[in-house]
Amino acid sequence: MRRLYLYSSVVILGLSVLFLASCETDITVDLPQAEQKIVVEGSIEPGMPPFILLTRSAPFFGSFDPNNLAEFFVRDAVITINDGTADYTLIELCLSELPEEFQALAAELLGVTEDSLSTFPEICLYTVDLFGGSLLLGQPGKTYRVSISVEGETLTATTYLPFPVAPDSIFARPHPDPAVDSLFRLSIRFSDPDTLGNYYRYWTRRYNASRDVDEPFYPGVSSVIDDLFFNGQTVDFSLDRGQPRSAGFDQDTYGFFWAGDTVVLKLASIDRPVYSFWSTLEFDAGSGGPFSSATVVSSNIQGGLGVFGGYGASYDTLIIGE
């Protein structure tokens, strides 16, 4: 699953292991039981209502049963969002109740295909009343403040929804080995605004009927971009194919698309706190190993974990090999 992160709330301290030629010592460490916290993953995009998922953190050394996934989701929260003009109260909406026109966005939030929603556990998320209430739709240039009251706790967050900055063009580059004529890299030509401090996040969606492939939007393994080194310039660069964390690493095909793939690129402008969250989370996810150090994942959620982010998204489509 792409975007549902069950956070570990246990801090693992590095242990020095002494290797002695003449003896071995068994060391037993009693780890404290970590406090469970509420995890927020919320988003708002131009022309779209906000969606918020609430889960509970999981202990690092605890057991996890995918069949009990629904138990991690938090119900009965009271959530309000202020757009600088009015307050909007969100409602709890389960997947079976979601209108058809919003199912694609819910599938993207969960990191699954739209077709698989029917077999997904009955998970509930929070959004505005889609059945005739006061509809809050994202507007670039606005700041949104969310307040969440649940299980005796109050969580708050603020995010800015930037204006979208679309690529000038997207195109495919052939594999550097001419003998490999079926793999291509997705590249973009991009003109960055002449203001320092622009941040972006990208996803790719891939479908190919001949290969029986229909993937949802997946972020790149390193999905966020800082304009520090190309502020105000027009640059060309490649983007890795997005993939789920569970897909593993194939050095022969990683980052490439196949000839005949239809690729949809989603590129979103984000503010710095959202950039910091995803950059630290992705660094932490990629820095495993027995001798790695703990990474503090940044968050803009006061009183909890996670992120509430504004994504100024633009979309472009390319058929690879045409």
pLDDT tens string 166-215: 999 999 999 999 999 999 999 999 999 999 899 999 999 999 999 999 99
Exposure string of 47-76, with b = 16+ CB inside 10 Å and e = fewer, is ebbbbbbbbbbbbeeeeeeeeebeebbbee
Tens of pLDDT, residues 244-294: 877 777 889 999 999 999 999 999 999 999 999 999 999 877 655 444 455
Asked whether residue 11 carries a pLDDT value surpassing 50, the answer given is: no
Whether 283 maps to a domain, the answer reads: yes
Q: Which residues are paired to 283 by β-bridges?
A: none
Range of the structural domain that residue 174 is part of:
38-289+299-319
- Burial zone of 5 (CB within 10 Å; 0-12 exposed, 13-18 middle, 19+ buried): buried
Average pLDDT, the chain: 84
Tens of pLDDT, residues 57-77: 866 555 555 556 667 889 999
The more confident residue out of 124 and 317 is 317
Q: What is the pLDDT of residue 234?
A: 97
Q: What is the pLDDT of residue 267?
A: 98
Whether 23 maps to a domain, the answer reads: no
Q: What is the pLDDT of residue 168?
A: 98
Asked whether residue 165 carries a pLDDT value surpassing 60, the answer given is: yes
| Cα-Cα-Cα-Cα dihedral sign, residues 236, 269, 224, 230 | positive
Whether 4 maps to a domain, the answer reads: no
Whether 9 maps to a domain, the answer reads: no
Which whole number is the average pLDDT over 217-221?
93
The more confident residue out of 202 and 134 is 202
User: Number of folded domains in the chain?
Assistant: 1
Whether 26 maps to a domain, the answer reads: no
Percent of the chain whose pLDDT exceeds 90:
61
The β-bridge relationship of strands 305-310 and 38-44 is parallel
Label residue 17 by pLDDT band (50, 70, 90).
very low
Most confident of the following: 52-61, 96-105, 284-293, 294-303: 294-303
Whether 2 maps to a domain, the answer reads: no
Whether 28 maps to a domain, the answer reads: no
Q: What is the pLDDT of residue 285?
A: 75
**In whole angstroms, how large is the CA radius of gyration of the chain?**
21
- In degrees and rounded to multiples of 5, residue 85 shows phi and psi of -120, -45
Measure the CA dihedral 227/230/234/237, to 10°: -80
- Of 38-42, 138-142, 180-184, 291-295, the range with the lowest mean pLDDT is 291-295
Whether 161 maps to a domain, the answer reads: yes
